[in-house]
Amino acid sequence: PLNMGQQMLGLLMDMGAWLLLVWALLAFKGLTARYVQTMSACLGTDLLLSCIILPLQVYVVGQGLEPESGTLARLALLVALIWDILIKGRIYGASMQLGRLQANLLSITIWVIVLLLSNAFMPAPMPEQAPQNPAVEQVQPPSN
């Protein structure tokens, strides 16, 4: 398991990459004056969506790894993720003067980049495997 320092470093890397990507895109378009507005809108929507997502995540994690348990909660998490991507697409489109398709593709691209960075700095914990018992012999079927 990762310690708290590694998790905080990973979160800071994710947030820094996101802030830098948005700033670089706005600078490329010559619209850096819109940076504070853009990030305020994005962070505000993240805060509101976190109020919905956090209880769902706690519920899903508490259900375990059984595929049948928490299906509706997992579906709600997927809907919230898609909603978040579309909201950010709208924000990016308005701030960078992009069309809907371009803005949504940009939102998906930024989400994937941040997700990849997150996996690089905070890999998911591997499930523990049951220890192999060498004393138990494997029964081989008789060969004819």
Segment 64-68 long-range contacts (CB within 8 Å, at least 24 positions apart): 65/127
Helices (H), 4-34: 4-28
d(CA 47, CA 55): 13
pLDDT per position as a tens digit, 96-140: 999 999 999 999 999 999 888 887 777 666 656 555 555 555 556
pLDDT per position as a tens digit, 37-58: 999 999 999 999 999 899 888 8
pTM given for the model: 0.75
Is 131 strand, coil or helix?
Answer: coil
